[in-house]
A and B are shown apart, each in its own frame.
Chain A
Amino acid sequence: NAGVTQTPKFQVLKTGQSMTLQCAQDMNHNSMYWYRQDPGMGLRLIYYSASEGTTDKGEVPNGYNVSRLNKREFSLRLESAAPSQTSVYFCASQPGTENYGYTFGSGTRLTVV
């Protein structure tokens, strides 16, 4: 009953460093998403992948890149981390059917110093 698994759970980066956040789902879902959560702002969509082989920008894509490696895995990369990217990052998946709820991972808490 793993659902959506995110790694790592915590990370501290120095400004300018790069890293990749990993996400995998075992529910055979078609669509996957990356959100960031900041106090008082809810969740904001960074990138999404409606199906394997496709990716699209969300509301706040600047400073990030994504890769839909296969149907199960969707990674988020920060090429040159900035303090403004300090946040909690959530990966989510959904079957790809309209009006179906999302399943979220437990998040990665990232601090950029």
Chain B
Amino acid sequence: TQLLEQSPQFLSIQEGENLTVYCNSSSVFSSLQWYRQEPGEGPVLLVTVVTGGEVKKLKRLTFQFGDARKDSSLHITAAQPGDTGLYLCAGELVYGNKLVFGAGTILRVKS
């Protein structure tokens, strides 16, 4: 059982559509991080959210941290083919200075 449940596992959408990826846990995290990974490369940090209820925007991407710091979401508006990739959420445990990852969401945006 994964500490962080990420959904959906796969998403195939048309260019211009909106989508949301969810990351849920029963544990409290000191921060929640989102990464994007392309084939043959390591994950690259997109954003870190720290405060319960925090919302951060990165162009067409909106990240939200749940009020109780147990869950997070990533919303992409008007998806583009360049958004295609593996999206990973990762929670930093309150004690221990280490990240636990969700299983990831494979996003494919078709033109």
> Which A residues have a C-beta under 8 Å from some C-beta of B?
4, 31, 33, 35, 40-45, 48, 50, 58-59, 90, 92, 96, 98-107
Contact = CB atoms under 8 A, between A and B. Distances in A.
B2 interface: yes
Interface string B33-46: 10100001111110
Interface string B6-26: 100100000000000000000
Which range contains the number of B residues in contact with the other chain? 20 to 34
Nearest to B103: A42
A41 B104 CA distance: 8
Contact of B99 (A96, A102, A103, A105): A102
Contacts, number: 64
B103 A104 contact: no
A42 to B, nearest CB: 4
B42 A40 contact: no
A99 B93 CA distance: 10
Interface of B: 2, 4, 6, 9, 30-31, 33, 35, 40-45, 48, 50, 88, 90, 92, 97-104
Contact of A105 (B33, B42, B50, B98): B42
B98 A58 contact: yes
Interface of A is mostly: loop
A48 B98 CA distance: 8
Nearest to B33: A101
Contacts of A33: 98-99
Nearest to A33: B98
Given A40-B9, A42-B104, 19 more contacts: A31-B97, A35-B101, A40-B103, A42-B2, A42-B88, A43-B43, A43-B90, A45-B99, A48-B97, A98-B31, A99-B30, A100-B48, A101-B48, A102-B33, A104-B35, A105-B42, A106-B42, A107-B40, A107-B42
B103 A41 contact: yes
A106 B101 contact: no
